Structure 1
Amino acid sequence: MTQTFVDGAPRTSPATRPPLTGPPLRPLTSGDRAFLHFSRLNPGERLEAGVVLCVDDPTLTVHELRAHVATRLAEAPALTERLSPPTGRSAAGVGWQLDHEPSLGYHVNVEELPAGSGQDGLREAMDRIASRPLDLNRPLWRIWLLRGHRPDGVEVVYRFSHIHQDGAALHQALHLLFGLDREPALRNLPTFGAPTRRDYARMASGLLRGIPRTRQLTSWGGPPHGGARHTWAIAELDRLRRIARRNAATVNDVYLAAVAGALRTWSRTEWTRYGRPVHAVMPISLRTPAEQEILSNFTFGVRIPLPCAEPDPRRRLARVAAQTRRIKAGGRMGTIERRILDRVPPNASPRMLAGVAASGSRAHEVALVASNTGTMRGPYAIAGRQVRTLIGMPPLFVGRQHLSVALFGLDAHVCAAFTASASVPRHAELADRWLAELAALD
């Protein structure tokens, strides 16, 4: 199948682009439909995320970047998928269909940042990019080359919509665009058998208990408003592994415990008594081995209390590890959730699906989303230049959420990335406080 890529400015505006013809190549997953319905029922709102690839070579040009992307897209049709038109007023009949003429003038861009502006210039550019919605009539990703802010290198931003990609799909998309081999990016995915009586009993017990309200922090500064603001901290993966081994925990436990500690020290005056905990939603992947290369959504959110009231860092880690062990008890985590995902009917209510997509933004139930996208399998290269490290841009429901946190990784390094609403006071402190928590645990 031949594909052509148009360079320069987009040939047509989004409103006048020729419609796709023919049937969709594959249907939307339940997760895809949920995020699509959320965007359609809430005009102006969307959930998008991204990563920043750091390259220590200032000579990379946008022409080289476009040529690199064009070569990769010719071998990766999944990245040219876009939404097919609905057959009626609803999203019925919408599926994923190949765009045979994606415009690189739209998808690959360049921004010259103020000379010498460094990380401040990079952060401001990330905030600007996050404010620009992706075009739902095109493949749901864009790339920006950021230049000029540092003399010894450039940054490349990959921005994508949650309608098309979850965290596991991000692994595959980056591997297709920048990986040095063509093997699938994911490994050791689970299979999900039929739920047992014990699984149903566990779910029924959770429903009977209900969802307790989460702790409301005065430090949030009131209801969230303003755009997304990005900060991050880079650490060595071996450091988190070392802490995990010493404490019979996992890297994910260490990450979450450090998030709890960062929130505690950031809002210290509110933790003079224990009381109600702060709850986070932790997305888990429900992909099977047959779905490792599909760019779609196969995630489900698990609610977890963060022990911010615990003053001792090691005891905080022990409590987080105990919580995650309970969630994974019996090795059956995700069994019922996967069954639910598979059984959502095609005619499910758009409002219900949109509500599921926005569940992480219910401020009375959860205070934040804490994701772990896992470590990407590098090395990555862009037009012959090796990617040194990776910075995350977690998704944020702007105007609904105070904070979204995610752990990203590339080879030997991890990035704890924080996206906060502009209204949150002192949000820029959180990344450094997360690093301080790692030091306390180490």
Structure 2
Amino acid sequence: MLGKATGATFSQVNLAVTAGAIRAWSPADWSPSKRTWRWVPGSRPLYARLPVHLRPQGHESVSLGNHVTMLRTPLPCSEPDPRRRLETVVHSTQRTDDRRAIIRAGLRTFPRTSTVLIRYFANERRTPLSITCLRTPEVLSFADDHVTACFALPPLPDPHPLGVALYGYGREATVVFVADCSDPDPAALPELWHEALRELEDAYLS
């Protein structure tokens, strides 16, 4: 319902809700007079790594290997309004297809330089957060047993402090957080994520 009401994708909603959850997790860090979260100095936004496939259209089922890269996407954690958070995310991710094509061309033409740049921007100081969105609309089975629920365990490359995965299976969705043990109270993040989702739903569906 939220996707239909906003026109946003599954991934865009997750990015906006995750931004709201992180804002609630460390509210003092997003005050205009404060520095942002501990690994991002000054007033720069918090950046997330968003995995995207690089297969050209029409080659999804015939190209072998993992044709995947990471897009560096800003999260509007300093924005207090849930509607504007989603609008900001939608605006910043509208050119994903263009960016995917640029990266694909760069890797093909200048593979070594492009790889160095990707590693540079994926550094934990520049892009500390990893966010993954997966969907499996079909019903899965193992032998003769139907799978009733699924969740994704996001990777947490050392020394990145936080990973988030939203997995949609059928009509259900599950969010999972994986955090470095030095992060402040990471166990609060799942509930804060659900609160941010309810806040966004109230903003659009009430």
SS of the aligned residue for 1:366 comes to coil
1:276 aligns to what? Answer: 44
Contact 1:280 1:366 survives alignment (8 Å): yes
Residue of structure 2 aligned with 1:324, choices 73, 89, 93 = 93
- Partner Cα distance (2:167, 2:107) in 1: 25
Query: How far did 1:310 drift?
Result: 0.9
RMSD across aligned C-alpha pairs, in angstroms? 2.4
**What is the match of residue 72 of structure 2?**
303
Q: Which runs of 5+ in 1 are unaligned?
A: 1-241
The 5 A counterparts of 1:311-350 are: 311-325=80-94, 327-328=95-96, 332-343=98-109
Matched, 1:364 2:133: no
Inter-CA distance 322–353: structure 2 relative to 1 (3 Å threshold): closer
CA distance in 1 between partners of 2:137 and 2:9 (Å)? 19
Q: Is the Cα–Cα contact under 8 Å of residues 261 and 308 in structure 1 kept in the other structure? A: yes
Q: Could you tell me which residue of structure 2 aligns to residue 117 of structure 1?
A: none
CA contact under 8 A between 1:278 and 1:366: conserved in structure 2?
Answer: yes
Is structure 2 residue 164 aligned with structure 1 residue 396?
no
Q: 2:168 & 2:86 partners in 1: Cα distance?
A: 21
Deviation, 1:402, is 0.4
- Seen in structure 2, the aligned counterparts of structure 1 residues 293 and 432 have a Cα distance that, compared at 3 Å, is farther
Distance (Å, rounded) in 1 between the aligned partners of 2:88 and 2:27: 19
Which aligned pairs between 1:169-248 and structure 2 lie closer than 5 A? 242-248=1-7
Distance 2:80 2:166 in 1: 23
Shift of 1:354: 7.8
Alignment CA distance shift 1:304-1:425 (3 Å): same
Alignment correspondent of 1:383: 143
Q: Which amino acid aligns with 1:424?
A: D
Aligned twin of 1:267: 26
Partner of 2:130: helix, strand, or coil? strand
The Cα offsets for residues 207-226 of structure 1, whole Å up to 9 and x where unpaired, read as xxxxxxxxxxxxxxxxxxxx
Amino acid at match of 1:392: A
* The structure with more radius of gyration: 1
Contact kept, 8 Å, 2:72 with 2:121, in 1: the verdict is: no
Deviation at 1:371, TM superposition (A): 2.0
Structure 1 residue 372 displacement after superposition: 1.9
**SS state of the match for residue 23, structure 2?**
helix
Conserved? CA contact 1:370–1:406, under 8 Å: yes
Give, in angstroms, the shift of residue 353 of structure 1. Answer: 4.9
User: 1:299 is aligned with what amino acid?
Assistant: V
How far off its partner does 1:356 sit?
Answer: 4.2
TM-score normalized with structure 1 length: 0.40
Aligned to 1:436, what secondary structure does the other structure show? helix
1:116-127 to structure 2, matched below 5 A, reads none
| Structure 1 segments (4+ residues) deviating >4 Å | 352-359
Q: Which amino acid aligns with 2:107?
A: L
TM-score norm. by structure 2 comes to 0.81
Partner Cα separation in structure 1 for residue 118 and residue 99 of structure 2: 19
Paired with 2:137 and 2:3, the residues of 1 have a C-alpha distance of 21
Letter matched to residue 308 of structure 1: C
Q: Secondary structure at the match of 1:389?
A: coil
Matched residues, percent identical?
31
Structure-2 separation of matches of 1:313 and 1:303: 21
Deviation at 1:340, TM superposition (A): 2.4
Alpha-carbon shift at residue 293 of structure 1 (Å): 5.4
Other structure's SS at 1:290 match: coil
Deviation at 1:296, TM superposition (A): 2.3
Q: Within 2, Cα distance between the matches of 1:295 and 1:397?
A: 24
Residues 249 and 378 of structure 1: is their aligned pair in 2 closer, same or farther, counting only changes over 3 Å? closer
CA distances 1:313-357 after superposition (whole Å, capped 9, x unpaired): 1111111111112x24xx634222112233456xx59xx958845
